[in-house]
Structure 1
Amino acid sequence: MSRLESMRRRLSAQIDGINWAAEKIARLDGDVLEMGLGNGRTYDHLRQELPDRRIWVIDRMLNCHPSCIPPAEDFLEGEAEPMLAQLARDGHKMALAHYDFGYGIKEKDVAEGQRLSPLIATVMQPGGLILSQQPLVGLEQICGPDTIAPDRYLFYRAV
């Protein structure tokens, strides 16, 4: 599979996963958390699918498309650990989180996801959903939509 085909597969998985998760959390209280803004495409889709939810964004720096800049009060710039700790301290709970941090080096990305997993768990509403490209630990892994290959995107429920 070429890198271009892999990207198409990833983007389709993100769209299908977010749409599926948005339906699943419809009756659950809580905000949304985008971890890794990047260009802002996923954030833009979250805004479209969950227009009535507050969407928090964590990233090391703001470097997205101008149409995808989150409100200043919802953008937490810096390393993930202190930003997740701040959300937890302030009592914010997430019904949905999308984990998209990464360096592009598989071993490093997996290690970061595992290191951040307990912090992510502290900001999740019980029953909240986490979508991730990386394996996370300490969360209940669940099956996502049938349109997504199990190894392409991972789905978790907070306990």
Structure 2
Amino acid sequence: MSRLDSMLRRLGAQRDGLNWAAAQVEGQPGDALDIGLGNGRTYDHLREVMAGRRVLVIDRVLQCHPSCVPPEGDFLQGEADAVLAGLAGAGIRLAHYDLGFGVEEQDIAEAARMSPLIAAVMAPGGIVVSGQPLVGFTRLAGPEGIPEGRYLFYLVEA
């Protein structure tokens, strides 16, 4: 499979997974969190599918597309671990984890290290959508049509 085809599959899985997760938490209180703003595509999608909720964003720098700049109070600039520690107890209903170095072993280790910090900001019953394996959460099957391991879905236990 070409890298282009792989990217298209990943983006499709991400969109379908976020749509599925948003439907799972519909009607439950709590905001959304995008860990890793990047170009802002995921944030833009989350603010659409999570309309009426605040969508917080964490990233080191604000360098997204101009149409995807979050409101000043919703962009939490800094290192993700420090920002997450400051958000502990926030009761986040849906989180998307999208940090990585592009080196599988490093990405897996970083996701494992970040997992307890993510758990601490989540509401019981919340859902975490991730491109990397997380630890300490209950794995969910997620929506049909997403290849196993392409995107991962987790339930936050009470």
Q: Deviations over 1:47-100 (max 9, x none)?
A: 111111110100111110000011110111111111001111xx4111100000
Other structure's SS at 1:141 match: strand
Gaps of 5+ in 2: none
Structure 1: stretches of 5+ with no match in the other structure: none
Note the 1:83-94 alignment, pairs <5 A.
Answer: 83-88=83-88, 91-94=89-92
Superposition map of 1:69-80 within 5 A: 69-80=69-80
Look up the match of 1:136: 134
Letter in 2 for 1:52: G
Equivalent residues in 2 for 1:7-156, closer than 5 Å: 7-88=7-88, 91-156=89-154
Question: What is the deviation of 1:122?
Answer: 0.5
- How far off its partner does 1:107 sit? 1.0
Instruction: Give the whole-Å Cα distance in 1 for the aligned partners of 2:60 and 2:104.
Output: 19
Counterpart AA for 1:125: A
Deviation at 1:153, TM superposition (A): 0.3
Kindly state the Cα deviation for residue 103 of structure 1 after the two structures are TM-superposed.
Answer: 1.2
Partner amino acid, structure 2, of 1:115: R
> What does the per-residue CA deviation read over 1:94-125, in whole Å, with 9 as the maximum and x for residues that have no partner?
11000001111111111110000001000111
Residues paired across the two proteins, number: 157
- Give the Å deviation of 1:21: 0.7
Query: Percent of counterpart pairs with the same letter?
Result: 59
Partner amino acid for 1:20?
A: W
In 2, Cα distance between equivalents of 1:66 and 1:102: 23
CA distance in 2, matches of 1:137, 1:45: 26
What's the TM-score, normalizing by structure 2? 0.97
Aligned-residue RMSD, C-alpha: 0.8
The normalised TM-score by structure 1 is 0.96
Name the CA distance, whole Å, in 2 between partners of 1:25 and 1:148: 19
Structure 2 CA distance, aligned partners of 1:151 and 1:66? Answer: 32
